[in-house]
Structure 1
Amino acid sequence: MTRIGILALGMAALLLGGSVVFAGPARKAQASPIYGVTLPKGYRDWKLISVAQENGRNDDIRAILGNAIAVKAFRDGKRPFPDGAVIVRLAWRYQASPRNDAVFPAPQSFVAGAPTNVQVSVKDAKRYAATGGWGYGQFEGGRPNPDPAVVQSCFACHQKLERLEKGKDFVFTDYAE
Structure 2
Amino acid sequence: MKRLSISSLAFAILSFGVSAVFAAQRPEDQRSPVYGVKLPEDYRDWTLISVAHEAGRNNDIRAILGNDIAVKAFRAGKRPFPDGSVIVRLAWQYQSSSRNDTVFPAPQSFVAGPPTNIQVSVKDSKRYAASGGWGYGQFENGMANQDTMLTQSCFACHVKLDALEKNADLVFTAYSQ
Answer whether TM exceeds 0.5 for this pair: yes
Q: In 2, Cα distance between the equivalents of 1:117 and 1:29? A: 15
Q: In 1, Cα distance between the equivalents of 2:118 and 2:175? A: 19
Shift of 1:164: 1.3
Q: Give the letter aligned to residue 100 of structure 1.
A: N
Shift of 1:142: 0.6
Deviations 1:12-55 (A, max 9, x none): xxxxxxxxxxxxx9432200000000000110010000000001
Q: Give the letter aligned to residue 76 of structure 1.
A: A
| Stretches of structure 1 lacking an aligned partner (at least 5 in a row) | 1-24
Q: In 1, Cα distance between the equivalents of 2:87 and 2:98? A: 33
Q: In 2, Cα distance between the equivalents of 1:104 and 1:121? A: 38
Shift of 1:86: 0.1
Q: In 1, Cα distance between the equivalents of 2:162 and 2:128? A: 16
Residue of structure 1 in register with 2:160 after alignment: 160
| Stretches of structure 2 lacking an aligned partner (at least 5 in a row) | 1-24
Q: In 1, Cα distance between the equivalents of 2:82 and 2:97? A: 40
Q: In 2, Cα distance between the equivalents of 1:106 and 1:92? A: 24
TM-score (norm 2): 0.85
Q: In 2, Cα distance between the equivalents of 1:100 and 1:140? A: 28
Residue of structure 2 in register with 1:110 after alignment: 110
Q: In 2, Cα distance between the equivalents of 1:96 and 1:83? A: 39
Residue of structure 2 in register with 1:136 after alignment: 136
User: Could you say what the CA RMSD is over the residues aligned between the two structures, in angstroms?
Assistant: 1.0
Give the 4+ runs in structure 1 shifted more than 3 A: none
Q: How does 1:1-177 map to 2 (within 5 A)?
A: 26-177=26-177
Q: In 2, Cα distance between the equivalents of 1:137 and 1:36? A: 8
Shift of 1:93: 0.5
- How many residues are aligned here? 153
Comparing 154-163 and 25-34, the one that deviates more: 25-34
Q: Give the letter aligned to residue 142 of structure 1.
A: G
Deviations 1:113-137 (A, max 9, x none): 0111000000000000000000000
Q: Could you say what secondary structure the match of 1:152 adopts?
A: helix
Residue of structure 1 in register with 2:19 after alignment: none
Shift of 1:58: 1.0
Q: Could you say what secondary structure the match of 1:112 adopts?
A: strand
Q: In 2, Cα distance between the equivalents of 1:105 and 1:59? A: 25
TM-score (norm 1): 0.85
Q: How many percent identity over aligned positions?
A: 73
Q: Give the letter aligned to residue 58 of structure 1.
A: N
Q: Could you say what secondary structure the match of 1:167 adopts?
A: helix
The higher radius of gyration belongs to 2
Residue of structure 2 in register with 1:4 after alignment: none
Q: Give the letter aligned to residue 27 of structure 1.
A: P
Deviations 1:49-104 (A, max 9, x none): 00000011111000000000000000000000000000000000011111110111
Higher helix share: 2
Shift of 1:140: 0.6
